[in-house]
């Protein structure tokens, strides 16, 4: 194995760098800028059973040390993702891709995952359990261990590929939710999703986005991500994909020391579309600086 190689749920990655869902489209947009095959893989735009237009605009706003967004899972629905988006991606990406799935009911998750599981291009199913459960009084799947486990079991029943459950940080006990997913059969845990945030425009005296509140991401949340990755990695036996404010090779090494097997880069892609490529290029020099021979050896190096 090369210095940058890692193994995520039985699939070898050339390096641990994965652009995060919602920040990299379906990949082919970025392929116009550079060869995206340098990536470990990427997680494509969150996919739901049915097409979604998303939330009203404005729905993205910059703020100090990050951004707030409430895009609302805009996507063409799983049928079109399978029939149109993935064939376009195949023309510019020759590795397995990570399929990100969202839903509003357990049945939605199972349906969408079953469809994507049949696609040869898909290597992993990243199941985002931080959307509202509209059939259960608005409770978010990702803030309740039993609900998160229920989604995990339902998806595992209809799929054969590794299932990675993506958790929300907007909870008081992230470990109990991660352990519930592991016990329900999850093959990996992905964290953290965005923190819930809000900003107000002093000139208009209105929230900066139409949804009022949205997901806060960017470098400001990195310490929270490191803490939660560390807590979960030391509580479960399955791999952890770490993310949240990652924007440099040094950040990658830090969150891997906390316990991440692979590392997603999110908001930084919207600031610099070349950031993932540059992080990969910078990793060997940063590894040399800190006396690291192979990235696989440092995973969970801090106890």
Residues noted as catalytic: 131
**Are 215 and 63 in contact, with CB atoms under 8 Å apart?**
no
User: Are 169 and 206 a contacting pair, CB within 8 Å?
Assistant: no
* Total Cβ atoms within 10 A of residue 66: 21
| Positive or negative torsion for Cα 123, 12, 155, 299 | negative
Give the CA distances from residue 61 to residues 216, 221, 244, in Å, rounded to whole numbers and listed in that order: 10, 16, 17
How many other CB atoms sit within 10 Å of the CB of residue 294? 14
Alpha-carbon distance of 65 to 251, in angstroms, equals 15
Cis peptide before 33 (omega within 30 of 0): no
**At residue 51, what are phi and psi to the nearest 5 degrees?**
-60, 145
């Amino acid at each position: 194995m090369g210095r940058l190689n890692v193994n995520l749920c039985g699939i070898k990655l050339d390096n641990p760098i994965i652009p995060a869902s919602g920040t990299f489209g379906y990949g082919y947009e970025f392929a116009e800028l550079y060869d995206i095959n340098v990536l470990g893989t990427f997680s494509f735009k969150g996919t739901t059973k049915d097409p979604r237009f998303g939330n009203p605009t404005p729905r993205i706003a910059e703020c100090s040390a990050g951004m707030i967004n409430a895009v609302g899972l805009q996507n063409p629905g799983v049928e079109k993702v399978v029939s149109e988006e993935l064939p376009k991606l195949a023309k510019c990406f020759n590795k397995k891709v990570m399929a990100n799935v969202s839903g509003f009911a357990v049945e939605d998750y199972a349906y969408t995952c079953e469809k994507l599981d049949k696609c040869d291009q898909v290597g992993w199913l990243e199941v985002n359990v931080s959307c509202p459960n509209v059939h259960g009084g608005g409770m978010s799947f990702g803030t309740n261990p039993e609900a998160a486990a229920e989604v995990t079991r339902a998806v595992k029943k209809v799929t054969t590929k590794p299932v990675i459950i993506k958790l929300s940080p907007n909870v008081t006990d992230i470990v109990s939710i991660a352990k519930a997913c592991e016990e329900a059969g999850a093959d990996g845990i992905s964290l953290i999703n965005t923190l819930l945030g809000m900003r107000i425009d002093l000139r208009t005296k209105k929230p900066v986005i139409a949804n009022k509140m949205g997901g806060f991401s960017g470098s400001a949340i990195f310490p929270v991500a490191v803490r939660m990755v560390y807590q979960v990695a030391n509580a479960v036996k399955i791999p952890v994909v770490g993310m949240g404010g990652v924007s440099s090779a040094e950040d990658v090494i830090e969150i891997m020391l906390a316990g991440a097997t692979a590392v997603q880069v999110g908001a930084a892609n919207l600031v610099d579309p070349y950031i993932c490529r540059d992080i990969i290029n910078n990793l060997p020099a940063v590894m040399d600086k800190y006396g690291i021979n192979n990235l696989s050896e440092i995973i969970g190096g801090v106890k």
